[in-house]
Amino acid sequence: MIVKDLSLSAIVAGFVAVLVGFASSVAIVFQAASAAGASNEVMASWLLALGIGMAATCIGLSWYYKAPVITAWSTPGAALLATSLQGLTIEQATGVFIFTAVLGLVIGISGWFEKLTRLIPLPLASAMLAGILLQFGFAIFNSMQNQLLLVGSMCLVYLIAKVFFARYAILLVMLSGIIIVVAGGSLDLTTVTLSLARPVWVTPEFSFSALMGVGLPLLLVTMASQNIPGVAVLRASGYQTPVSPLISSTALSTLLLAPFGAFSINLAAITAAICTGTEAHPQPQKRYIAGIAAGLFYLLAGLAGATVVALFAAFPTEMVAALAGLALISTIAANLASTTSDPTYRDAAVITLLVTASGASFFGLASAFWGLIAGALTMAIAQHQRASN
């Protein structure tokens, strides 16, 4: 059956989805791992665990449901971790991954997914995410102070590519950065060797403040910014795949691989659109091959995790920071628009944004948590006032 349905277009779609996904956000994953104090070996283990988890879910779910189910790591989740794991140990970070995965599994099995996402209004969730991501946007221009030619050129390529080659904008930005670094003679590849990544076990530690301050926002960000859009992409393309098994499967894969660095495996949205459209195959019932192909390419990328880590370590930190920031500009813009879209929640959402972006931490709980608390309190007071009037 699979051999009969094979097509070059579907395989290419799977490859492009993985390439775009890695190129656009692997730098953010490295920043998250660095925030937790991960060594290069542990970073490579993160990519290996994520690659295995995404491969298993892409291949298994796409084959079983005969639909192009594309999974990914949570890019917004990685951004949250990069700003929230400072001061935590790698063991405590692993405890956060396990805690979030368990909650995700419960939500998936129970069928609470849609009910839970309705508890927090979209403007507040968007405001929290925008507050987290703003730091990456600022990093673009902070990096430009030290590397004007490099970062300025990457920004120019981004602006032009967004007009003419929007789907491949970040890939082109990365290539432009590589060319400039190589031409400038500042790239040292002596430490880069071709090698397979090895799994590194990290025994988890559970800190209440870390679970509440980082784990809960990570769960919310993953559900609101990855799984909900991921389901929407499938539905928009005509696939009525049941939601609960998808959420349960990705959460279970995260749980099993969390000690090796899988911080969040979830449904993909942007890269999923590459595999669910007519570009993958004119016939919708044969596009599942793109999901299987994506899984195989995820596995290869994960196995090469050690080489990927070494390559990124050889580039200037300004280039990596700019690449991460540019990759998130569209997401920042979309969430800022959602933050202020509904006048009913506007004040509460803006307060959520400001508290989250401030980086303020109280009692060991990260600013994302307090942003939601402040926004929810503002919303409750406003609703009480309206009810009184």
User: Distance (Å, rounded) from C-alpha 75 to C-alpha 340?
Assistant: 23
Amino acid 370: pLDDT: 81
pLDDT band at 265 (very low <50, low <70, confident <90, very high): very high
* Amino acid making up residue 295: G
Lowest mean pLDDT among 99-113, 151-165, 284-298, 306-320: 306-320
DSSP 159: H
- Can you tell me which residue has the tokens 């990685």? 78
**Where does the pLDDT of residue 213 fall: very low under 50, low under 70, confident under 90, or very high at 90 and above?**
confident
pLDDT band at 312 (very low <50, low <70, confident <90, very high): low
pLDDT band at 190 (very low <50, low <70, confident <90, very high): low
To the nearest 5 percent, what fractions of the chain are helix, strand and coil? 75, 0, 20
Look at residue 321 in the predicted model and tell me its pLDDT. 77
Residue 93 confidence (pLDDT) above 90: yes
In which band, very low, low, confident or very high, does the pLDDT at 243 lie, cut at 50, 70 and 90? confident
CB-CB contact of 292 with 280 (8 Å): no
Q: Which of 235, 216, 291, 200 is nearest to 17 (CA)?
A: 291
What's 7's DSSP letter? -
Tokens of 317: 């930190």
Model pTM above 0.75: no
**Both tokens assigned to 93:** 């970070």
Q: How many residues appear in the chain? A: 389
- Higher-confidence residue: 161 or 59? 59
Average per-residue pLDDT in the chain? 82
pLDDT tens sequence across 14-43 = 876 787 677 667 778 888 888 888 888 898
